[in-house]
Amino acid sequence: MAASIFNRTEYEKRIAWFQSARFGLFLHFGLYSIPARGEWVRSDEKMPEEEYLPFFEGFDPTCFDAKKWARAAKQAGMKYAVLTAKHHDGFCLFDSQYTDFKSTNTPFGRDIVREYVEAFREEGLKVGLYYSLLDWHHPDYPHYGDRHHPLREDASQGNEHRNWDNYIRYFHNQVRELCTGYGKLDLLWFDFSYDDMRGEKWHASQLVEMVRSLQPGLLIDNRLEVSGEGFGSLYQCKPTPYHGDFITPEKMIPPQGLQDVEGKDLCWESCITMNNNWGYARDDHAFKPASMLIKKLVECVSKGGNMILNVGPMGNGAFPKESLEILQEIGNWMAVNGESIYGCGKAGLEKPDFGRFTAKGNTLYLHVYENAIGPLPVPQLPISRVQSVRRLCDGAEVKISASWVHSDYPDVCFLDLGPNPVLPDEIDTVLKVTLK
């Protein structure tokens, strides 16, 4: 089977755009946006289907505008996006012929996936789709005893008459629909494996072979093997036919980036929520400030990874006010400093006291979070290698300091940031160092 042979050259070609893009948008939207208690509301509250179906019957997000979503992502400096085509509740945002549980059968009556892919492509963004391997709506998905199903504790929901092969055919057919009905896709984000529900339990080799044949060059995450925990077979240097192209740490950033067991850098993407939920949660106001998220994006890039930042649209389809404000502020910073993010990665230098390094070719970017008393010391940087230093915000020259105050440290490079102790950008002032 061709899909079982790992081709390193093809793999590196496939991930090149992703490792250049660095910053993406996650979109969690569905029926759960109406109760507004997070995307796991059915499981968390052990909600029977009859209590959930009124949200299907009332799904009519009249403020939904995929073009507004796309413009907000583009303005924020994002280069790609991933939308929940189907989440764990089984509700589909696309016009699948294999289920009635879909957006086109609600009062809204529209194919949200189609509008999404068209709008985001129009803005020049790469498009991805999320598809849950779990399905709490499908009658053949395990109910009783499953770790996550809403009816997991209801002994009357036994699994004796559930046909697993029927479910496999169902979800493979839906993935085929997504791969054939919406033009070129750039990314498929499967979610997720757990307990014995992993790998070939999903008929994953067959699934990936189909996907690769229909969408050559498509990226696939690693959750056919693992969840947010675990790294997968690429990490083990023993890639399966369904290995993930990238690793997906969730709500955290790996302390040292990610390397395989042989010490080679891996492709990874940290998926981060703006508050504490993926789906819209009305009472969750614990939003991370834009300043923090900018620094976390820089941290991911400095460690060789990506960050995909989530927005959970409200039940009416609009982005929450807080999310829009955060995206706007991030976008303002990215408009000036995106050069230090796109196409950048690890600098191979020890983390500086003042912030972080990112690098691209012979260019080093100093992300300065806090000023020094006097000239800024950069002990990792040999003076002999410095060709020029400029501020990204205005292109102004930054000179190597010759002040007497650091004469006791002749081997350390000190940069003269001028007499003003307040940095031009209080979040992250970026200095561009061109190396000889």
Per-residue pLDDT tens for 357-386? 999 999 999 999 999 999 999 999 999 999
Query: Can you give the pLDDT at residue 295?
Result: 98
Inform me whether the pLDDT recorded for 4 exceeds 70: no
Q: Is the pTM of this model over 0.95?
A: yes
Q: Which residues of 90-107 are buried (b: 16+ CB within 10 A; e: fewer)?
A: bbbbbbbebbebbbbebe
Per-residue pLDDT tens for 68-91? 999 999 999 999 999 999 999 999
* Residues 205 and 240 sit within 8 Å (Cβ to Cβ): yes
Full set of structural domains in the chain with CATH? 2-340 (3.20.20.80), 355-435 (2.60.40.1180)
Per-residue pLDDT tens for 33-68? 999 999 999 999 999 999 999 999 999 999 999 999
Inform me whether the pLDDT recorded for 283 exceeds 50: yes
Query: Can you give the pLDDT at residue 3?
Result: 43
* Residues 256 and 249 sit within 8 Å (Cβ to Cβ): no
Per-residue pLDDT tens for 136-176? 999 999 999 999 999 999 999 999 999 999 999 999 999 99
Per-residue pLDDT tens for 89-136? 999 999 999 999 999 999 999 999 999 999 999 999 999 999 999 999
Backbone angles phi, psi at 102, to 5 degrees: -150, 160
Per-residue pLDDT tens for 398-420? 999 999 999 999 999 999 999 99
- Beta-strand ranges (E) seen in 158-256 are 187-191, 219-220
Sheet of strand 429-435: strand arrangement:
355-360, 363-368, 429-435, 386-391
d(CA 67, CA 122): 9
